[in-house]
Amino acid sequence: MTPIDYLLVQIAAWIPARRDERGLSQSTENAILLAGAVSIATLIITLLTSYISGKLPK
């Protein structure tokens, strides 16, 4: 084995193996989190509006 071959083998040993990760992509996760945040904000605004409207004199 030549020194170059030996060096390439050593470098290849240090390169981490490609991980086979299963799951959602980061952009999908961000979209789901955004949709959840919008849903919660809409719910809070609706509840507050209903509460305040109920307390106002008619």
Query: What would the pLDDT profile of 28-40 be if each residue is shown by its tens digit?
Result: 889 999 999 999 9
Confirm whether 19 is domain-assigned. no
Confirm whether 2 is domain-assigned. no
Confirm whether 22 is domain-assigned. no
Confirm whether 40 is domain-assigned. yes
Against a cut of 0.75, is the pTM above it? no
Full residue range of the structural domain in which residue 33 is found: 27-58
Q: What is the DSSP letter of 16?
A: P
Confirm whether 34 is domain-assigned. yes
Count how many domains the chain has.
1
- Say how far apart CA 31 and CA 23 lie, in whole Å: 14
For residue 20, the model assigns a pLDDT of 65
pLDDT above 90: residue 56 = no
For residue 42, the model assigns a pLDDT of 96
Confirm whether 18 is domain-assigned. no
Q: In this structure, which amino acid lies at residue 36?
A: G
- Say how far apart CA 17 and CA 11 lie, in whole Å: 12
Confirm whether 15 is domain-assigned. no
